[in-house]
Structure 1
Amino acid sequence: MAEYKVNFKELKSRVGIDDVAYSLGYRLDKKAGIGKYVELVLGDSRNRQDTIIVSNRRDKASQTFFRRDGSKGDVVTLIRENLDRFVVSGDNEWQKVAKVMARFANMPEPEYKQEREFYRGAGHTSEFDPKRYETKTIDSANIPRLFSQRGISDESVRTLSPFLTLIRDTKNENFDGYNVGFPYTDTNNEVRGYEIRGMGGYKSKAAGTNSSSAAWVADMPQGDSVMVKSVFFFESAFDAMAFYQMNRATLPDNLALVSLGGTFSDGQITDVMQRFPNAKAFDCFDNDVAGRIYGLRMMALLEDIPLKITKTDKGLMVEAKGKNIEIDTQRPIISQVSKSLSIRHRMGQWLPPKAFKDWNDCLMNKPMEPIISATKSDRDSNLAEQRKSSMKL
């Protein structure tokens, strides 16, 4: 594939500041009026995190923004300020910015020669080598900014710090610093790899990480697996931390948070639940088709019911025990399946509120679709849904 030159001027003509801002969770401040300038606000009236004033709202190529503290910029500036919110790879910041803008412009993402050579030469590591990585504990007085950028409080980090680490890959010649590592452990509590997150949207796993049966597991109280009564499964460790922070006051004692790291392996579910023989599993996966499939697969494992899952125009079709069950992906799956199959309810669901893709987006108030003009009734309803969110079957 040929490497093409990125034309930022053309990309800026297709991608507006408002396009990027809405995707990040900013909302139009109608009280400020709509004229030559519009104000976009991040957060609600009680917790306003940022306000940007955007000019030339009808002309994407000319859009700029400023803040009342004097800072200003264009769409590239806004992307650079929030680069960690976009999952893109690249050797430097500009490569990542170009990829983000290409996505918004519905254009092919640029492919860089260095990346192709890196992937070709990376090779495959079949077994995790702990000697390759340097790790150190997180300093409670100097918590990495990466967490606050994901809405995760210092208090949450400190509480979960026994299950977090800072990690450096000694074989990475391009980056000599530390990222945040989420240790993957097995049934013997031995580290079998890491889910790794870093600034600028960096997302990876340690070479040779066992994603077949090991997972990130944060059990409280630590080391007393018999006492754990509830195990909450997520697609990422950030989702798990966000869920814990948002629901801490109503969560049961003696629980475990589990991240599958974006992949789903039968062995991860079964091995984790073997650690906690007296616990019930909860599906906390994303609010999308993939998340519903993960939930169905987990239910099949825990209930010992072989399932065949097929995507349809209306949602999903489940074939089990000679029955065909249509699944509406917008509704909890267990109540739909239990109408046709006898299940023992070894799994519950505690899903993100419907407006949000996952728990971390919920914490950051970043809904899947921008809501420009929410009424007070809408806001009250959304707040009530979050408050009533509980361990639903």
Structure 2
Amino acid sequence: MSELTYEDFKQRIDIQELLVDAGYHLNKRDGLRYPSYVRLDSENRRIRGDKFIVTGNGLCCFRPPERKNYNVISFIKEHPEMFSEYRPGMSKDRLVNLVCHRLLNQPLDDNEAKIMSPKQENVRFNLNNYQLVHFDLDDWDSQKKFYSYFKNRGITLDTQRAFADHLLLASTTRENGKTYTHLAFPMRVPGKEEIVGLEERSRPNLEGKSAYKGKAAGSNSSEGLWIANLSDRPLEYVKDVYWFESGYDAMAYHQLHPNKDELNDAVFLSTGGTPGEKQFAGILDILPHANHHLCFDRDQAGLLYAVNFALQREGQKFSNYLTDKGNLVIRDLTDGYKRKSIPTEDMDFKEICKTIGIDEPQNLLHLPKDGYKDWNDQLLGRRNIETGHTINELKEEREKETTLSNQTEETENERHTAHRRR
């Protein structure tokens, strides 16, 4: 059998089939011209704000209000945690390969790690390709240029100033003559000064959403991190390290804890997405005895990243994955082959560590408050991850329900009164 290509996957797998596989349900009540798919909570209620609409040609989907289209390939690559085959740090091409072969009921050699995809040039990151603006504490004009990137995130000027040495605006002009400018969190390999990539965020669109997030072309994503050392000491002498999935979350956490003086003597890290083994190793080699504060997102993937860190710090060889039922399966490859399945409903990191034989007080898990997916959402009071509603929306809906109930009761009383009079 010849190898399947990206084009094979896009032609043979329906985007609606992929949405269903990712846990979405057809929303028959939507009334839209094109099919929409929503996620349901444990009580079969629609999670507000978590919806994808299939495009007119039926080949792609998008999540309103953004109009970024996802085909079968890009949907899997940008939402890896929605698929059971996903393992932190794995190649996204490998994930596409596994998911698409399963949906097509095609056998796949477990040793096959790559799929045939369009050839891409091996681009090496070069900072000289960008025009840079630094956040200059003595230059108000330079600070104003950063304003639009932080306003909708709720991140204040004081917080921006605290991270001033670790922020850039990076502009590049493409072949079509258009110039694009992004907020950039410069990435470095721990222990080295050279910038090896950029974690990028675009200016928000008219709906207040960031239209683009990603990394600059050629970024060293496997080893590079955003390293914001707020202390006056070299990296190897810092006692507290805070890990995040994005630079925005790191800044939000700092702002949410204004009375923790130790934060101004700590290192803030962003992995720019899924944390990888080499990113963990680079910091652990320099700071093996520091207090590592794991501040990943409040979801199963974030919990998995924290467990991965604890296992790697312990020097264990392992593989793990999340089952459809939400259990964390850990395969201990350190000494033989041992398998443990652990429920994750309570997000109890300490209990999981105890179950797998790790008792390490220097691995500290910090989760956003219950109901918020990440630290920036908590700063904004934006998202209730169980229902998809903001707190204010929930309050307004309860008030509307109470008002409607009272109106209904009054109408029924009027009907009964009129009936008695007749």
What TM bracket, shorter-length normalisation? 0.5 to 0.7
Superposed, which structure 2 residues align to 1:186-225 within 5 Å? 186=189, 187-199=191-203, 200=205, 201=210, 202-222=212-232, 224-225=234-235
CA contact (8 A) 2:187 2:224 kept: yes
Matched position secondary structure for 2:298: coil
Q: Where in structure 2 are the equivalents of 1:31-70 lying within 5 Å? A: none
Q: Give the Cα–Cα distance (whole angstroms) in 1 for the partners of residues 232 and 174 of structure 2.
A: 32
Moved more, 131-140 or 319-328: 319-328
Provide the C-alpha distance between the structure 1 equivalents of 2:119 and 2:355, rounded to a whole number of angstroms.
49
What is the distance in 2 between the residues matched to 1:224 and 1:169?
32
2:276 is matched with 265
Identity of aligned residues (%): 23
Selected match of 1:317 from 321, 324, 329: 329
Residue 263 and residue 126 in structure 1: after superposition, are their counterparts in 2 closer, same or farther (change >3 A)? farther
Any idea what the Cα deviations from partners look like across 1:207-231, whole Å, max 9, x if unmatched?
A: 1101111100101115522431111
Q: What is the identity, as a one-letter code, of the residue corresponding to 2:382?
A: K
Q: Deviations over 1:255-307 (max 9, x none)?
A: 11111111221111111233435522121111112111111111111111233
Can you give the 5+ residue segments of structure 2 that lack an aligned partner in the other structure?
1-9, 12-30, 38-46, 53-60, 72-116, 136-141, 397-422
Tell me: CA distance 1:109–1:220, structure 2 relative to 1, closer, same or farther (3 Å): closer
Partner of 1:366: 382
Partner of 1:99: 62
- Encode CA deviations 1:171-226: one digit per residue, 9 max, x unaligned: 36364142111100112122101011112321121111011111001011155224
Partner of 1:159: 162
**Residue 353 of structure 2 corresponds to residue 337 of structure 1:** yes
Give, in whole Å, the separation in 2 of the partners of 1:267 and 1:291: 17
Q: 1:374 to 1:133 in 2, by over 3 A?
A: same
Give the match for residue 249 of structure 1.
259
The answer as to 2:354 corresponding to 1:354 is no
Equivalenced residues, count:
289
What's the TM-score once normalised by structure 1's chain length? 0.63
- Find the counterpart in structure 1 of residue 17 from structure 2: none
Write the distance in 1 (CA, Å) between the matches of 2:288 and 2:253. Answer: 23
SS at match of 2:369: coil
Any idea what the Cα deviations from partners look like across 1:119-151, whole Å, max 9, x if unmatched?
A: x99933342122212212132244331211111
- 1:173 is aligned to 176
**Paired residues of 1:353 and 1:362 also in contact (CA < 8 A):** yes
Task: Give the conservation status (yes or no) of the 8 Å contact 1:232–1:256.
Answer: yes
Task: In structure 1, list runs of 5 or more residues that go unmatched.
Answer: 3-8, 16-20, 25-85, 88-97, 112-119, 376-393
| Aligned CA distance change for structure 1 residues 267 and 251 (closer, same or farther; 3 Å) | farther
Aligned residue in 1 for 2:86: none
Q: 1:147 to 1:122 in 2, by over 3 A?
A: farther
| Cα distance in structure 1, aligned partners of 2:328 and 2:226 | 29
Cα drift, residue 354 of structure 1? 2.0
Aligned residue in 2 for 1:146: 149
SS at match of 2:179: coil
Deviations 1:77-136 (A, max 9, x none): xxxxxxxxx99xxxxxxxxxx9333889xxx9476xxxxxxxx99933342122212212
Are the counterparts in 1 of residues 250 and 268 from structure 2 also a CA contact under 8 Å?
Answer: yes
Contact 1:193/1:208, CA 8 A, preserved across alignment: yes
Aligned amino acid, residue 227 of structure 2: V
Displacement of 1:342 in angstroms is 3.9
* Structure-1 separation of matches of 2:301 and 2:320: 11
Q: Who is 1:54 aligned against? A: none
Name the aligned partner's letter for residue 191 of structure 1.
Answer: I
Letter in 1 for 2:156: S
| 2:302 corresponding residue in structure 1 | 291
CA 1:158–1:300: 2 relative to 1, 3 Å: same
Distance 2:313 2:257 in 1: 25
Residue matched to 2:241: 231
Calculate the aligned-residue CA RMSD, in Å.
3.9
Tell me which amino acid in the other structure corresponds to 1:243.
Y
| 1:307/1:149 CA distance change after superposition, 3 Å | same
Structure 1 residues 297, 124: closer, same or farther in 2, change over 3 A?
farther
2:361 maps to amino acid? H
TM-score normalised to structure 2 length: 0.59
- Counterpart of 1:338 in 2: which secondary structure? helix
Distance 1:223 1:192 in 2: 22
CA distance in 2, matches of 1:365, 1:122: 43
**Could you tell which deviates more after superposition, 121-130 or 279-288?**
121-130
1:272/1:170 CA distance change after superposition, 3 Å: farther
